[in-house]
Structure 1
C-alpha cells in the first residue's frame, strides 16, 4: 500500500497533509447554540483517529445575523465560538489530521422566518425554490457590511487554531452574485463577469488582510452550474483563473451543479439512483487551468474512484465525506491493506436528508456515527466469552452477530430462509435502490470472517433455541405485511408479494401507500418496469412524505419517467370484484367524498406487523423477562438488568421484531444491546 496515490503525503504551502483523502465541509446538525461542542468535536476526532489527512468542519458556518442556520450550521458571527473552536482544533490535531473551517454567507439560500427574522439577502430578488425565500436585493451598504463580516469570521477561525479556512462560493451569496441565473443587477456588481466577480474579490482581499499571509485560505467554487442560463464550464474556468491570479487563495475546492431545488441538491449530494462521481472531469478541467491545488467534493464513495481521481490527475485531494460517515476508519483500513473491510457508503442519503428535514445527521448503516460519546466504532473484548443466539438474519440480526463476535462471544445465527439479508432482499429489487444490498453484503462478509455459526433454513422454536444453552438470546425475526383492515382485503396483494416475485402483476395497478417511505416506491419501480400502468395513491398530503429531499426527488423523477401517476388525500374504503377486475372505493380524506375506480390489481403497502411469537415464548425464562431498561439504554449503558432470579438467559428483541422502523433503527438496536454484554 506504500505506493497507493491516496496515501501519498501532500504539501499545501507550509502544511503537510499525511494523505490525499479529506472530509469536506458539511453540516451534520450537531451544533449546540451555534457552537461545535462535544458531540461535534468527537465526530471529527473519530475521523482523525481513523487516519483522514484533512477534515474541514463547519459546513456553511454563518458569519452574519441575516444568514441564519436552517440545517444546523455553526455561527461564527461573534467571538463566543472561539473557545469551542480551540477545543475542537486541539482534539482533531492531536490525532494527526489537519483541520480547517468553512465560512459563508448563505444569501438567499436560507429563511427569513428564523433566527432574528431579518430579510434574507441576495444580489437580486430572485427566489430559490429549495429554501423558498424572496431575498432583499443588497444595497452597497449591505455589501460593505458582509465583506467586513467575512473578515471578522476568518479572524475568529484563525484565533480558534484552524490550519486554514474555506470560503464557500458555490450556490451561496458569493456564487449567487456570480450566477447569471440569479444576479440581475445593473450596477457595478451585475452584468459583466468582472462585475459579478467584484464581491468575491472584495471578500478575498478583506479576509487576507484580516488573517495575514500565513493562514491557508481556499474557496469552494462552481465548475459548471449545469443549468440553462447559468454559469457554464468555460466561464467557471475563467472565474477560477481570476481568483487564483489574486494570489490570495491557496486551493480551490471544485464541484458542479445548482442545488436550487430538490433534484439539483440530489445531483450535488447524490443518493442511490444517481451517477457516482459525475463531476471529476469538471474539477480536472480547472486543475489544468490554474496553478493552485484542486480539491473535489462530489459523490466519491469508494476507494477505486478516489484513487482514479488522484492518480488520473483530476484533483490533488479527494473528498470522501459520506464514505467516512459510513466508516471513519476508512483510511486506516486502507493503510492496513484491508480495503475489502471498509464499511461502504451505499448512498442511502439518510445523513443529508435528515439534516434537510431539521434532524441531526446519522448514517443509515453505522449507528455509532455522531454518537461517539456513548457508542463505539471499535469494540473491546468481553471479559468472559459467552454464548449469544440470534434468530433472524436481516440487518438487525447480522449487526448483533457482528458486534457480539467482535467482542469474542460464541455466536449462533439462525435464519429461516435460505439466504441472509432479510428485507434488504426486497428493498434492492429494481434499479434505483439496488445499491442498498451493499449493507447486507458488508455485514454478511464480516460475520463470515468472524466465524459466526450461521444456520440457514432454520425455523426454530423456543426449545431449539434453549438447546444451545444461551447466555443471551436476540430475537431479530423482523415482521410481515398483515392484511389491511378494509372490506375486501382478500382481493388485494402486498408490496412484498410483488417484490418477492410470488405474485406476477400486469395491467392497471392501484398502489396504495399508507407509509410514505421507500417501500411503496420501490414496488412502483418494479411494477412500472414490468409494464404495468401504475397509479400511486396515498392519504398523505404529499407523495413520499417521510422521505427527505434527495431520495424523494430521485425516485419520483424515475417514476415520472415511467409514467407513474400520483394522487394524494385518498384512502381505500373497500375493494370488490368486478368481473375479472377489481373495483376500488376511494374516500377523499379532506372532504369525505367518494369515487370508484376499476383496476386489474390493488397493491397495498401499510407497514409491517412484528413477528414476535418466539419472543413471547422465551420471555418467562429470561433473566430480564425480555425487558430493556430505558434509562440505561438512553444513557448508553448496558440495558439488560436482572428482574427474574429464576431466569437462565437474557432476552432482547430488536429491529422490526419490536415495531416497523428502518435499517438505522435496527442497527442501532443491535449496537446498544450488544456493545456491553
Structure 2
C-alpha cells in the first residue's frame, strides 16, 4: 500500500476506525460518506434550542420530535461505506443569530446592534446541561462519537480566550478562572454519555489575533480535561473574525499543514489520540504526519469538497487522480457574501441536482473540436470524452495549461500549479487527441469536420495607452516569471488586481523594492473577501512592498513613472515597470469560428476574463450537454 500509515486501523474504546482520515463538517457529507473517509462529521448540532445557532434564530433542535428522523438519517448516510458517524456540537455564544439577545462571557452590543448579555451561573448551568443532553441524544441516535466545538471563537472559546473574556469575577481574568465554564461543559457531557462513548474536542491551538489565548494555555487546558476526552482535534484561528478566519481555513498565503507542529506538541503531552486539521492537501502530506507521529488522525475539509473521493483514490494509490483543492475560499459563504458559493474544481459542489456522480454516455457520439488547452478547454475535453465523444484539442503553444502555466514560477500558486498538473495527467490518460503547436484557423477547424466546436482560447493581456509604455524596461506581468533576472531593483507595478498583488509579493520576496499603483480604491477587487484579508496580511509582511491607490499613471520615462494623485503630479523612480492591467477577449478571432457548425460555444476567459471556477463550470456544463 502506498500510504500504509494513513490507512492503518485504530481502535478507540469499543470503536474501530478503518483509517486515519476525518471528513470535517465543511459542506454536504453525502458524497464524502462513500468517498472512503474513516470518520464523517455529519454537520453541526446546536446544543441549545435558543441562542445557539449561527445561522438563524428559529433553527430547529435536531433531536426534537419532528427532526429526529432526519438526524438519524445522518448516521445512516455516514455508515454507507464503513465510516464512523460523528456530530459536531456547537453553541455560537455572542455570535448567535437571535431575535432578542445573545449570551456570552461579557455584556456588549454587537456591530449589528444585537445585545449580548453576560452569562450568570444559572445560564452556565443551563447551557452546560444542554451540551450534556445533546451529546446523550447523539449517542442514543446512533452516532459513534461527538466532537465538542471549543474552537474558532464560539462559546467555550469565548470563555477560554482573553480576547473575549474580560470578566472580573471567578469566571474571568486568570487562566484558572477562564477554564471553569468550558471544563464544566466537558464534565457534564462525560457524566451524561458515560465512559463507553467517544468524546472528541476541537480547539484552536492559536487564534492568531492580538490579545487572544496563548498556545501554552491551550495545551494546559487540554491536559486538564484529557481524562474526560477520548480525542482532541487541533485547529487554529477564529470564524467570525476575518483576521482570524483566514487562519482557520488557510488561504494560498499560508503554507501547507500550518497546525501540525502544534498538534505534535500536544501529542507529546497527552495519551489520547490527536487529530489535526488545516491545509493538509495531499495523501503524501497526510501520510507524513501520521508516519512521523505528529498526529493520529488528519481532518480534511476543503480537500474533500474538491474531491470527496480523495480517501478512496489514496487507498488505491491513485493520488494523481485526486482533484487538488485551490484554497480559493469560494466554497465558504463568507468569502462571497453568499453570492457565488461553489468549488473552483468540483462543479458538483452546491449543484448536486445538475451534476451527477457519473456522467451517462451520449446517445450519439460526436466529433468535438476544442480550441485552447487552458483549464476550461481541458475540462471540456475530459467531460466530452467521458461522454463518449471523439475529442480533438488544438493548442497553439507547446504545452497545455493556458494561463495556469505561470503558476509554476510563484510560490503562492503551488495549489494552482498542482491543479494544472492534475488536468494534464487526466488528459494524457484519456482518449482525447491533443495537437500541440497547432494554431487553430477557420480552415484548420473546417478540415476536421466537427459536429461541435468549443472555443477556449483564453484572453490576452491589455496594454493601456500610457505614454512610454513601449520601452524596453516595461514588461507584462505574465512575462516576468521567466525573465526574473532582468528585473531591476526598483520596480513599479501598474495594476493592483490579484495578479499584480501576488506578483508584487513574489518580487518583494526576491528582495526588490516594489510599488503597486492602482487606479481604484481597493486592491484585488476581483478577489473574494477572505482572499483580500489574507492578501493584506501577506503584503504587510513585506517591508519593501508599497501601494498607492487612486492614482492615474500619466507617463513611463526611462527612469521612473509619472503619476497623478490627490490633484498633484508626482514621479517615482523605477528600473523596471510591470503592467498588470487586466485581460481582454479576442472577439475578432472568436467570430471566425462561427458558421462552421451550429453547435459552437465560447467558454472560460475567451467568454469573459475571470477565474478558474467559472472556467471549470462552463467547460463541464457545455461538454455535458453536447
Tell me the TM-score normalized by structure 2.
0.87
Number of equivalenced pairs: 620
CA distance in 2, matches of 1:126, 1:310: 43
How far 1:142 moved relative to its partner? 3.4
In the other structure, the counterpart of 2:217 is 235
CA distance in 1, matches of 2:510, 2:271: 52
Picking from 88, 95, 102, the partner of 1:102 is 88
How far 1:137 moved relative to its partner? 3.4
In the other structure, the counterpart of 1:6 is 6
CA distance in 1, matches of 2:88, 2:516: 42
CA distance in 1, matches of 2:162, 2:67: 35
1:85 equivalenced with 2:71 (yes/no): yes
Paired residues of 1:143 and 1:199 also in contact (CA < 8 A): yes
Structure 2 vs 1, CA of residues 306 and 84 (structure 1 numbering), >3 Å: closer, same or farther? same
In the other structure, the counterpart of 2:621 is 672
Structure 2 vs 1, CA of residues 127 and 396 (structure 1 numbering), >3 Å: closer, same or farther? farther
Picking from 134, 145, 164, the partner of 1:182 is 164
Alignment deviations for residues 465-487 of structure 1 (CA, whole Å, 9 cap, x no partner): 12112122111001112333678
CA distance in 1, matches of 2:557, 2:290: 63
State how 1:454-465 maps to structure 2 within 5 Å.
Answer: 454-465=434-445
CA distance in 2, matches of 1:229, 1:582: 42
**The 10-residue stretch of structure 1 (433-442 or 63-72) with the greater mean CA deviation from structure 2:** 63-72
Picking from 601, 612, 625, the partner of 1:663 is 612
CA distance in 2, matches of 1:4, 1:333: 13
Structure 2 vs 1, CA of residues 558 and 81 (structure 1 numbering), >3 Å: closer, same or farther? same
1:309 equivalenced with 2:322 (yes/no): no
Paired residues of 1:297 and 1:320 also in contact (CA < 8 A): yes
In the other structure, the counterpart of 2:188 is 206
Structure 2 vs 1, CA of residues 190 and 313 (structure 1 numbering), >3 Å: closer, same or farther? same
CA distance in 2, matches of 1:557, 1:226: 12
In the other structure, the counterpart of 2:564 is 585
CA distance in 1, matches of 2:478, 2:140: 57
Paired residues of 1:506 and 1:530 also in contact (CA < 8 A): no
In the other structure, the counterpart of 2:554 is 575
1:528 equivalenced with 2:508 (yes/no): yes
CA distance in 2, matches of 1:73, 1:427: 46
Paired residues of 1:391 and 1:477 also in contact (CA < 8 A): yes
Paired residues of 2:468 and 2:557 also in contact (CA < 8 A): no
In the other structure, the counterpart of 1:611 is 586
In the other structure, the counterpart of 2:403 is 423
CA distance in 2, matches of 1:24, 1:166: 10
How far 1:236 moved relative to its partner? 2.9
CA distance in 2, matches of 1:422, 1:526: 21
CA distance in 2, matches of 1:621, 1:193: 74
Picking from 26, 40, 45, the partner of 1:55 is 40
State how 1:261-660 maps to structure 2 within 5 Å.
Answer: 262-352=242-332, 355=335, 357-359=337-339, 361-484=341-464, 494-499=476-481, 501=483, 505-506=487-488, 508-513=490-495, 516=497, 518-529=498-509, 532-548=512-528, 550-560=530-540, 561-568=542-549, 570-572=550-552, 575-576=554-555, 581-586=560-565, 593=567, 595-600=569-574, 603-623=578-598, 650-660=599-609
CA distance in 2, matches of 1:608, 1:503: 25
**The 10-residue stretch of structure 1 (449-458 or 286-295) with the greater mean CA deviation from structure 2:** 286-295
How far 1:362 moved relative to its partner? 2.7
How far 1:288 moved relative to its partner? 4.0
CA distance in 2, matches of 1:294, 1:18: 16
Q: What secondary structure sits across from 1:621 in the alignment?
A: coil
Q: What secondary structure sits across from 1:483 in the alignment?
A: coil
Q: Which runs of 5+ in 2 are unaligned?
A: none
How far 1:450 moved relative to its partner? 1.2
CA distance in 2, matches of 1:307, 1:479: 40
Structure 2 vs 1, CA of residues 379 and 483 (structure 1 numbering), >3 Å: closer, same or farther? same
How far 1:105 moved relative to its partner? 1.8
How far 1:541 moved relative to its partner? 4.0
Aligned-CA RMSD value: 3.6
Alignment deviations for residues 174-217 of structure 1 (CA, whole Å, 9 cap, x no partner): 12212244333232212444432221232224334555666533
CA distance in 2, matches of 1:540, 1:58: 40
Q: What secondary structure sits across from 2:391 in the alignment?
A: strand
**The 10-residue stretch of structure 1 (302-311 or 527-536) with the greater mean CA deviation from structure 2:** 527-536
Q: What secondary structure sits across from 1:413 in the alignment?
A: strand
Paired residues of 2:45 and 2:90 also in contact (CA < 8 A): yes
Q: Which runs of 5+ in 1 are unaligned?
A: 29-42, 624-649
Structure 2 vs 1, CA of residues 13 and 371 (structure 1 numbering), >3 Å: closer, same or farther? farther
Q: What secondary structure sits across from 2:143 in the alignment?
A: coil
Tell me the TM-score normalized by structure 1.
0.81
How far 1:224 moved relative to its partner? 4.9
CA distance in 2, matches of 1:354, 1:7: 34
CA distance in 1, matches of 2:508, 2:204: 36
CA distance in 2, matches of 1:379, 1:651: 22
Paired residues of 1:481 and 1:606 also in contact (CA < 8 A): yes
How far 1:22 moved relative to its partner? 1.2
CA distance in 1, matches of 2:60, 2:385: 43
Structure 2 vs 1, CA of residues 132 and 614 (structure 1 numbering), >3 Å: closer, same or farther? farther
